[in-house]
Amino acid sequence: MIHRKRGFGLTAKTLGITLMILALIIGATLTMSRSFEQLQDQTQTLATSEMENLMISVRLVQQSESLGSLGARLASADTHSVRRRALIELTDRLNWVSRLTQQLANLSLNTELINQMKTTQDHLNSNIDELNALVSEHIDGSTTVGLLRQISALSHNNQELAGQLSILAGYFSATMRQQIANQSERLAGDIQSQQQNLLAVCVLVLIFTLLAGLYFELRVVRRILSLQRLVSSPVVNVDKFDARGGDEIASLASTVRSYVQRIQSHEAQMQQAHQEMTYLAEHDALTGLANRRHFQAAARRLLRQCTQSLCVAIGDIDHFKQVNDRYGHAEGDQVLVNLSKHLSEGLRESDVLARFGGEEFAIILPISSLEDGQAVLDKLRLQISSQHLTPDTHTDLTMSFGIALIDNSQMTCDASDQQIETLLDAALVAADQALYTAKRKGRNQVVAAAETVYAKAI
């Protein structure tokens, strides 16, 4: 249980400091709110009515500038289809210009200028109707010089009217820009004044915030960083956790220390389990001898040394099935354990002994001659037959062995894994065949393979 000292915790202290800063900010905000409301009204006016008027005038300029090119397209039309498309675009653009002009007229802005724009638009509408009729007559087949001159004159007149309309709209747009610029200057002056007042409030809040930050740096951050460094170190020393004090960080340190202790305990258990699994991955669970995987790895290492020849032997317990049938599998397993112990004691430290499965064992003997290997196995066989390894002392246990010699004098030290595996497999097959020969000849004997397994033949 975590015991706290009397006093304010971090939550209460943080809340108090936060409320003080909040009260300061709220007071300053209320003081400045009225000024900002006035600025907001001015900004709203500028952003809505003035900007809207400016955008309408800018769009009017854009639409007016396109009337000249559309009139020229109508004048140059050579088919009724092209004429109709040009007329539709031109009429649509004139309607847009008319609607935009009417929007400006509804705002009661510069009435004289708007009346000039409307007069120019009416003249354009009249000219376009006349130009459309003349172009239609020309497309139908009339090619008189007078008709072409009329079309050209009307086209040039339309371009001049479109230019005049664009200039009028541009003048109106420039007037609106000037009005917005004047209002913007007045608004900028008001904003600058309010900025100075706001800056003074911000400085006051900043000073108070820095003092609060310094307090939290000393009382909170440094303690948390110290806790973080302890947890992040490669070896966590739980005795260095500072759980003194009555605040939440002290409680956190105590909790983390408890968790670290449990994690370290679990890691120790996992490390032990990993070691046991690693051992079982290369050892037989019953006898503790190396398994086939460990045997093959050891054989590969010895063959890569390229120092001397090796003898590979396979041994099998004679009539082991009768032991299981007579005494049961539990006693049979105990016989295997006892036999493994005697086999290990009868071999040298440089020899490799493994259980391949059931009652079959494999041995690697770093011995350069087959005769020396047979002598070692014969001695081992006689020791086994002289021991009473079964529950019935009247029943002797014997083993048969097959042995093969590997001549790796021609193998290079940089031989591939596949070459070494092939050489080892060939030796195991030869030793296994020799074992079968020993079984056929009456068991309890050592039989050597007829031929040496040469590395150069692989």
pTM of the model: 0.47
Q: What local confidence, expressed as pLDDT, does residue 241 receive?
A: 74
Per-residue pLDDT tens over the stretch 99-119:
777 777 776 567 787 788 788
Q: What's the pLDDT score for residue 2?
A: 42
Identify the residue with better confidence: 124 or 287: 287
**Residues in contact with 36: Cβ distance below 8 Å, sequence separation at least 6, in sequence order:** 194
**Residue 25 confidence (pLDDT):** 79
Q: What are phi and psi of 167, to 5 degrees?
A: -70, -40
Query: Mean pLDDT highest for which of 219-223, 359-363, 389-393?
Result: 359-363
The answer to which of 84-98, 127-141, 231-245, 324-338 has the lowest mean pLDDT is 231-245
CB 339 within 8 A of CB 284: no
Please state the CATH superfamily assignment of the domain spanning residues 292-457 in this structure.
Answer: Reverse transcriptase/Diguanylate cyclase domain (3.30.70.270)
Q: Please report, rounded to a whole number, the percentage of residues in the chain having pLDDT higher than 90.
A: 17
Tokens 């029943």 identify what position?
A: 395
Q: DSSP letter string over 380-410?
A: HHHHHHHS--SSSTT----EEEEEEEEE-TT
Look at 10-14, 133-137, 154-158, 395-399 and tell me which has the smallest mean pLDDT.
10-14
According to the model, what pLDDT value does residue 101 have? 75
Residue 3 pLDDT: 45
Average pLDDT, the chain: 80
- Please state, in angstroms and rounded to a whole number, the distance separating the CA atoms of residues 212 and 59: 55
Q: What are phi and psi of 284, to 5 degrees?
A: -75, 130
Is the pLDDT confidence value at 364 over 90?
yes
What is the percent of the chain where pLDDT is above 70?
89
Report which listed range, 256-270, 336-350, 392-406, is most confident.
Answer: 336-350
Rounded CA-CA distance 104/390 in Å is 118
- Per-residue burial over 100-113, b if 16 or more Cβ lie within 10 Å, else e, is bbebbeeeebbeee
Write down the pLDDT at residue 245: 67
Q: In the prediction, which pLDDT does 44 show?
A: 65
Question: Quick one: pLDDT at residue 50?
Answer: 64
Per residue in 225-236, pLDDT (tens digit) is 777 777 777 777
Residue with tokens 């087959």: 370
Going from N- to C-terminal start, the domains of the chain cover: 10-217, 292-457
CATH of span 10-217:
1.20.1420
pLDDT at residue 430 greater than cutoff 90: yes
